[in-house]
Structures are given as structure tokens and as C-alpha cells.
Chain A
Amino acid sequence: MTTEAPPRPATAEEPPRGGRFALLRNTWRGLTSMRTALVLLFLLALAALPGALLPQRSLNQRLVEQYFADNPSIAPLLDSLGFFDVFAAPWFAAVYLLLMVSLVGCVLPRTVEHARALRAAPVAVPRNLSRLPHHGSAELPVGLDEAAALVRGRLRGWRVAERSDDSGDAAGRSFSAEKGYLREAGNLLFHLSLIGLLVMFAVGKLFGYEGQVIVLSGGGQFCNTGILGYDSFRAGLRVDGTELEPFCIRVDDFRAEYEQTGQPSSFTAWLGYQTADDLAAGRTDSWRPYTLAVNHPLRVDGSRVYLLGQGYAPRFTVTFPDGQQRTGEIQWRPVDQTTLLSEGATKFEPPGVTDDEQRRTRQLAVTGLFAPTSSGGEVVTSIFPDLRNPEVAVDVLRGDLGLDDGRGQSIFQVDQSKIDSGELVRVARANLVPGQSVTLDDGTVVTFDGVRSFVSLQVSHDPGQVGVLVFAVVLLAGLGASLSVRRRRFWARLTPVADDGGGPARTVVEVGGLARTDRAGYGEEFDRLRADLLDAPTAAPADDHEES
């Protein structure tokens, strides 16, 4: 039983007419053949693999840098070929675009053909039914009309074409029946929704965006008004950041709970939010409450807000010799996710200094490590992620922080080159618990006031994802139909036995069956059909059971 994709491989039925069109046509035929689809599927699998085996920029920039450090000879080559950004690489796009073209080229004609087949009558009875994998015959002691009624009754639920049959000596009748059209329908549905899914996926990539932002708990706010509000932002190709939905979020409180082992058991952030409509209507003093948790994002204005992670922001107050105070509170970056030991740099400008030259010698930075639960030792380490026994180990640096150089600098670090050049010097080193302070040589006092949690949030916008889901569900339904339904054919030829003596009428009934698809198991169904129709001792038992 051969099922061949209708657009047959290049063995064209019509002779090539030469010229460019023949080339085009042959290319098209080749591209849309089953074999090409097979090869392209393999290519797709192969092309995706390096995306799993090599570190990817889109997932983890640091691992990529690590790979460069470990394999300095081959990494640049791999990079130039796009192996660290496989899913944005032109060759990956080429494979799936070819597959798409092939898919469209294959499925559209098949859809037309199937629509036609749905209206057409089942194909005529083959000349020799006994050649079919399933067959049988019997001489029934009934007349032609009665036998025909029997067959007709038994084939209820099948699509049947009844024809008169003159191939024998006497005018007989033939039945062609087919069942299982749902298989092809399901198959087409599957392939069509695959196309739909890919299109919606692309829509998401073009018009979606994703941004991360850190917000301090206890009243920190964030509004989705533009790219600049984010700490990092990944825009779709058609997003320029000017048309974001301007909803706002306020983080009122955050709580993390942990097992004894330090493994987190739950993260919860209590939010208030204002939708774009709220803001447009001027309702800026009321906030809608929402409890944000892992697996429980906030869905607002077509975007989603996720709780990605947490960390701590130590607060330092610097009291300058003239009595002026400055307070700095900025997130420090967790360097160990299990203990939340964090590093960071809290930077201060000297107050009241207008002379740039002077300012640049008197800037301060408090840098070092923060332990939410300190081991209490000389060297500060963290032994638990929760805030049980916070302590910082800090260096206080004074000099030029390089903030005016026009280069962006990390909020977690000071500019190392300024230390190397001696423009920034360490003036104190201390381990502090909340409330403790350290006094610098010029009388400036740096106090560690306390700690607040921060949450890191992600805002995601993907206008294609609902479409992807819908197509995925349809795809699954199509796949189910395509794989579970059997397309099968059944034929019966009824020939009246030439009757010379005026005895009772007799009819020879030959039946044959063919499963058109790979799915085995037609044998049993056919056996039942045959038994129902040919239930007579004369029935020829010969039947090939290859399929059952």
C-alpha cells in the first residue's frame, strides 16, 4: 500500500517543455516533494542542535564569554558563523524558510485535491479484486437486487458509489466505497496549523518585547513608559520603544520563604498597579492590588509582569564633616544564588561642591560584599539567603569615580581603571552590621543603616502568543485525526449467475479491500465486512492477513 504525497517527485507526467519554466517547475516539484521535506526536517534538527550544545548569547552572555576564554582559537570562528546565536543565524532562518515554502507548496495543492476528492465518487472497482491484499468471494443464493440491497445496507457510513457493471457476461453491479477522509483532513489541518503557528511565532518576534527592571520593595515604582526605564530591554524587530502600554507598578512588599537547607520554598511580592486606562483617566492615586508569585504573573494591558528574582539593597548614610548627609540605597548583585551573598557599589557625590575639579577628588563609593546571614567570621560570607544576620564587608573609596567620562558604567562596580591609575583610593575598610559606622580620615562617617529587598521583574509583550496557542491546539487535533483514522477502500462486484434452468437466482459477490495508509489493522474490519456479506459456505476463504 503505497501512499505517495500527491505532488509526486520529479518524475513528471508531462514532458518538460524546456526553457526557464521547466527549471522553475522542476525546482518547485523538487522542493515540494516528500523526500525534500524529509531532508529539510533533518537539516532543521541538525541546525537546532548547536543551539543546545553551545552557550547562546540570548540565554547567557556570561557562559559565552567563558567559552571564548576557554577556547580562544575556535570561538571567534564559531562566532563569525553565528553559532552563539543559532536561532538568529541566517542559515537557521534559511532552513526553516525553505521548509515553510516546501510545506506551503505541498499542503495547498493537497488541500485543493482533498476538497475535490470529498466531492468525487470513490474510484471504480479494480478489474481483478483477488489481487488486493484483502479479498474474498462467494456465490449467494439471492438475486442481484437483493444482493445489492445487502451490500448497500452494510456500507452505511461509507462514501459509496454504485455503478452498473458490464464487464462480465451479464449486466452486474459494482460498489466502490471509501472511508476515513478525516485522516487526510486531519493531516492537512496539522500541516496548515504548523504554518499558522510559525507565522504567529514570527509575529511575536517582530512585535514583541521583553524588559527587565529591578524595583525596591516597600514602595518602589516602575512605569512601562519607555525603554529607558528598564535595566535591560530586548525589542522585537519592529519595536522602537515609543508605543509601549504605559501601565505602572508599585512593589509594596516582598517575602521569600526558605527550607532549612536554604532552598527557597516560595517568593511572593505584593503589588499595586495602574493600567494604561487608569492613567489616561487620571486615576493616579489608587492602585489595584495584585499578589505576584512565581508561576503567577500579572497580566495587564496585553503584557505580562513576572517575578524573576530577588536580592538586597543595603542602605548607607554618609555624614560629611560639615554635617550634611547623603543616603544611598541601590541594589547589590547576588553573586551566589543559594546564599544571596551580594556585591555592589553605592556611589556618592560630595554635597555642595560646584567646582568639577574638586568634585572629582571627593566622590565616594562604598563597595564590597553583603551577606544576608553572615557567618560572623572575620571574612564575611553568607550562609543563608534570608535576612537573619546581615553584615557588609566594605571598602570606602574616594576620588574620581569616572562618572563624568561619558562612558556608561556598571551600577554594581566602580571603574577599575580609576583605581589602577590612583585617581580612586581606598580610605577605609570595615565589616559593618546595621547601625554600625566607619569614620574616614577627614571625619566623614559612613553608616550602614539597614537593608531592603528588591525584586527583579520582567515585562513581556508577545502579540503572537495567543495565536500560537490556538494553532498548537488545532495542530494537535489534526495530528490525532491523522494518526488514528485509517483511510480505507472497499469494493464489491455483483455478477448474476447465468441461469438457464429457471432455478433460484444466484449472484456472485466478490469483495476486495485496500488500506490506503500505513496504519495497520484494516484486516479485522475487512474480515467482519466480508463475513457479513459473504456469510455462505461457498465463500472462498482465501485472504491475505498480512495487515491484521
Chain B
Amino acid sequence: MIKLIAAFLLIINVYASDDKKASGIFNLILKEITKKENPRVYIHTNIYSIEQYPGDINIVTDCNKADIALLSTTKNLPPECNKKILFGSRYSHLKNPNVIGSFFWQKGRPNILFYKQRLKKHNIKLNPSFDKYIED
């Protein structure tokens, strides 16, 4: 019983962490973009929250095998990622026209932003709950 309680507390504790919550949001977004329950994600170069708590995400090390590439930087992106859907983790990543959207911090608050034309280019239609995060 003590082990059970300890295990429960451990999970609650993990759940409460920022990184876990960030990973939860990445999970929701990436599943929505790819329409897959276990999307294959290539991470360039590192995103601690999702590497630590991947959730439903299947992290792959070869961009060719990925459904989507998640970026911590747009610099030195492997050429094989150029044809993939790119999703950013900073506002500045949206300067790259190939990045369809980003989950980032700005003015002390987390934000999500997609550009309509870029979604359209990849034939991605998001759930209406994402409408407020889509700009022209």
C-alpha cells in the first residue's frame, strides 16, 4: 500500500512539473497537426520537456522517418527535414516560411500561433478549438 501511495505521489509530482505540462501541450498540438495518435517526431536539436516526457509521441532520430519536425532552432536544419512539416518552439521560428506554427513564450505568457496560409499549403485542418490561435 505504501508503495502504491508513493507511486501515486510520484506521478502527481511529475504531472505537476512545468515540463510535463509543456509536453502535454506539444502532444496535443502535434497529434492535431498529424492527425495521428502516436506521431513520429524528429526533434532539432533539443526540446527538454518532450524528450523528458514524450507522452504519446514517438521520437525518431531520422527526419526522413518523421511525420513532423519540432524545432528548438531553425539553424543547421538537416536537408531531409526540408520537405517535412516544421513546428517551432519560439516566436522567431515563424520568420521561416516553412514553419507552420509555433508554441512559444512571449510577454511572460505561453502562446500558440499558426499561420493560415501555411496550414493550407500542407492541407492541414485543425480542430475548431484551435481557431483562436490561427492568424492570416
A and B are partners in one complex rather than unrelated chains: no
Identify the A interface with B (CB < 8 A).
Answer: none
Identify the B interface with A (CB < 8 A).
Answer: none
